[in-house]
């Protein structure tokens, strides 16, 4: 994989920058963590070289100073809200996150339930946490939040919230998803710390948009595409421009809320240590890009990937066309079409040539391999066989899996398991190769090529089944699909 980001430099200068920020206050900093801490695949796609757990590794350098607080909204608990990427509810994700953090040696101090109003599901979840021995605090809805500063910064506002007991100088405040109330928890703690004689600090750690890249840099455009469903918009930070006469990039929600935050800081401390929303950030990503061209190309691919993800959601009735129209506008700004993604044109070309659903993969050296469906194999399963044979130097015409083995599998799928599609999926092909590899050297060699597919680009002319999509995800493949529903064979 072409590398465009210096991960070692990032971990070094980012951790030092956070230490400096802690020292600006009374040795206590509440750090609101936007995005994902240990599975940031968006960042790794647009900044090749950035590892999905780069931020986690960076924090491990200062692990002894860190305490993690996980925030969840009572409203989200009541609505049974789910993470789209994992398919689990936010309350279950709180427990997953806690386990992941603790498994990596981090201290998870407590859970804060925000927007508390005694909702039955939230009460049940709080009781569940307490039975598990997890310290749990409640933060209440404040009338007029965030604009009623006089009430918010008072004993009837933030002062009414539970004070979250913390032990370490750096408190990372994170959540399963957006809208959980992380910022309000941080500000509430500042108010309550101040009442106890501690001048604690607040900072925001969000990777995107990258404040010191141009507004229309593809890395920043890709962030807008990723948040098209939230309607986030990248903007020049007017407060930063006025204060320093320097252009910095932020996004609409932080810019819109800054006057309110400024008033809250003044209400708590009498003054605001920050002159702009960009000042509040501690993001050093932009200083660690080692090859801009690589990141530009990766980001353009990501914009197209987001476009296809949105069109697929629309085909399934999971979004409206406003999200798609926004991404189309972003593609125009980046001066690209779907043809920029080479595997897209390759898969469509194979479809036009054969008349069958097709898929294509671009390998790390730029080689493109394609495949189409047949009575025996789906296009993605055929692609796995074609590409592993190519990488292993096996003759294309050699049949790795004999038809005599495929037909019994098809019979079982249809006759015993009630399936409608007899073609083998990717998982079934991989299992068949695994069984045959004990006796067949070519099958063993083909299987050994699977790790080489990580970070490769794949496109399919049809929306793949959940099974096939999961296999490609496990292989680390960056997949896109045309918004065409697969025809069910009966």
DSSP 329-341: HHHHHTT--GGGS
For residue 9, give both structure tokens: 């430099």
Tens of pLDDT, residues 30-54: 999 977 777 788 999 999 999 988 8
Helix (H, G, I), strand (E, B) or coil at 383: helix
DSSP type of residue 413: I
Same domain? For 259 and 365 the reply is no
Residue 405 lies in a domain: yes
- By residue range, what is the domain housing residue 72? 7-208+248-288
Residue 233 lies in a domain: no
Helix (H) / strand (E) element for 231: namely none
pLDDT at 490: 36
Same domain? For 363 and 267 the reply is no
pLDDT at 456: 95
Same domain? For 390 and 278 the reply is no
Same domain? For 387 and 278 the reply is no
Same domain? For 348 and 200 the reply is no
Q: What is the pTM of this model?
A: 0.89
Cα separation, 356 vs 484, in Å, equals 13
Same domain? For 123 and 18 the reply is yes
φ/ψ region of 476 (left if φ > 0, alpha if ψ in -120 to 50, else beta) reads left
Residue with tokens 């599609």: 421
Residue 302 lies in a domain: no
Beta strands in 74-182 (DSSP E): 108-116, 136-140, 170-174
pLDDT at 214: 97
| CATH number where 87 lies | 3.10.630.10
Residue 159 lies in a domain: yes
Same domain? For 12 and 113 the reply is yes
Do 356 and 378 form a contact (C-beta atoms < 8 A)? no
pLDDT at 419: 84
Same domain? For 62 and 183 the reply is yes
Residue with tokens 């860190």: 66
Domain count, the chain: 2
Q: How many other β-carbons are positioned within 10 Å of the β-carbon of residue 53?
A: 18
Residue 297 lies in a domain: no
Which whole-number Å values give the CA distances from 252 to 219, 221, 224, 273, 327, in the listed order?
17, 14, 11, 21, 17
Residue 359 lies in a domain: yes
Same domain? For 125 and 255 the reply is yes
Same domain? For 372 and 281 the reply is no
pLDDT at 486: 73
| CATH number where 372 lies | 3.40.140.40
Tens of pLDDT, residues 397-455: 999 999 899 989 899 989 998 888 889 999 999 999 999 999 999 999 999 999 999 99
Cα separation, 66 vs 69, in Å, equals 10
Which whole-number Å values give the CA distances from 372 to 28, 397, 451, in the listed order?
59, 15, 22
Same domain? For 407 and 278 the reply is no
Per-residue pLDDT of the chain (490 residues; tens, 9 = 90+): 799 999 999 999 999 999 999 998 988 999 999 777 777 889 999 999 999 888 888 898 899 999 999 999 999 999 999 887 778 999 999 999 999 999 999 999 999 999 999 999 999 999 999 999 999 999 999 999 888 889 999 999 999 999 999 999 999 999 998 889 999 999 999 999 999 999 999 999 989 999 999 999 999 999 999 999 888 899 999 999 999 999 999 999 899 989 988 998 888 888 999 999 999 999 999 999 999 999 999 999 999 999 999 999 999 988 788 999 999 999 999 999 999 999 999 999 999 999 999 999 999 999 999 999 999 999 999 999 999 999 999 999 999 999 899 989 899 989 998 888 889 999 999 999 999 999 999 999 999 999 999 999 999 999 999 999 999 999 999 999 999 987 644 3
Same domain? For 157 and 18 the reply is yes
- Show the DSSP H helices in 49-116 as ranges: 54-60, 74-78, 90-103
Cα separation, 462 vs 378, in Å, equals 10
pLDDT at 487: 63
Cα separation, 98 vs 52, in Å, equals 18
φ/ψ region of 407 (left if φ > 0, alpha if ψ in -120 to 50, else beta) reads alpha
Which whole-number Å values give the CA distances from 48 to 15, 85, 122, 291, 302, in the listed order?
20, 21, 40, 9, 11
Residue 312 lies in a domain: no
> What crossing angle do the helices spanning 292-315 and 321-333 adopt, rounded to 10°?
160
φ/ψ region of 471 (left if φ > 0, alpha if ψ in -120 to 50, else beta) reads alpha
Residue 313 lies in a domain: no
């Amino acid at each position: 994989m072409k590398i465009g980001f210096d991960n070692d430099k990032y971990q070094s200068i980012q951790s030092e920058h956070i230490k400096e920020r802690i020292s600006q206050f009374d040795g206590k900093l509440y750090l609101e963590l936007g995005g994902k801490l240990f599975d940031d695949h968006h960042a790794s796609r647009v900044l090749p070289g950035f590892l999905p757990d780069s931020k986690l590794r960076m924090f491990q350098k200062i692990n002894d100073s860190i305490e993690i607080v996980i925030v969840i909204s009572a409203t989200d608990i009541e609505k049974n809200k789910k993470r789209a990427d994992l398919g689990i509810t936010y309350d279950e994700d709180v427990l997953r996150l806690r386990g992941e953090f603790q498994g990596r040696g981090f201290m998870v101090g407590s859970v804060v339930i925000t927007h508390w109003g005694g909702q039955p599901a939230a009460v049940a979840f709080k009781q569940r946490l307490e039975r598990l021995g997890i310290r749990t605090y409640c933060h209440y809805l404040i009338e007029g939040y965030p604009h009623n500063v006089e009430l918010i910064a008072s004993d009837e506002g933030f002062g009414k919230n539970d004070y979250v007991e913390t032990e370490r100088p750096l408190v990372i405040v994170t959540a399963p998803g957006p809208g959980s109330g992380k910022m309000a928890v941080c500000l509430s703690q500042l108010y309550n710390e101040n009442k106890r004689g501690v001048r604690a600090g607040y900072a925001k750690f969000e990777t995107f948009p990258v404040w010191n890249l141009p507004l229309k840099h593809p890395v920043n455009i890709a962030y807008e595409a990723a948040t098209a469903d939230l309607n986030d918009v990248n903007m020049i930070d007017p407060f930063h421009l006025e204060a320093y006469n320097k252009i910095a990039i932020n996004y609409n929600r932080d810019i819109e809320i800054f006057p309110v935050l400024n008033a809250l800081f003044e209400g708590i401390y009498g003054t605001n240590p920050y002159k702009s929303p960009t000042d509040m950030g501690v993001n050093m990503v932009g200083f660690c890009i080692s090859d801009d061209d690589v990141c530009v190309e990766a980001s353009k691919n990501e914009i197209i990937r987001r476009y296809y993800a949105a069109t697929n959601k629309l085909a399934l009735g999971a979004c409206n066309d406003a999200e798609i129209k926004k991404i189309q506008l972003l593609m125009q700004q980046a001066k690209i079409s779907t043809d920029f993604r080479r595997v897209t044109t390759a898969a469509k070309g194979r479809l036009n040539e054969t008349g069958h659903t097709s898929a294509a993969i671009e390998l790390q050296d730029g080689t493109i391999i394609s495949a189409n469906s047949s009575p025996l194999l789906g296009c993605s399963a055929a692609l796995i066989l074609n590409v592993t044979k190519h990488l292993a130097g096996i003759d294309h015409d050699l049949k790795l899996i004999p038809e005599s083995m495929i037909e019994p599998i098809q019979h079982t799928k249809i006759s015993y398991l009630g399936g409608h599609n007899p073609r083998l999926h990717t998982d079934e092909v991989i299992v068949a190769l695994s069984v045959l590899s004990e006796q067949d050297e070519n099958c063993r060699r083909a299987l050994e090529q699977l790790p080489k597919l990580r970070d490769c680009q794949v496109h399919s002319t049809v929306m793949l089944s959940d099974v096939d999509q999961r296999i490609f995800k496990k292989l680390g493949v960056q997949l896109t699909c045309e918004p065409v529903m697969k025809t069910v064979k009966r």
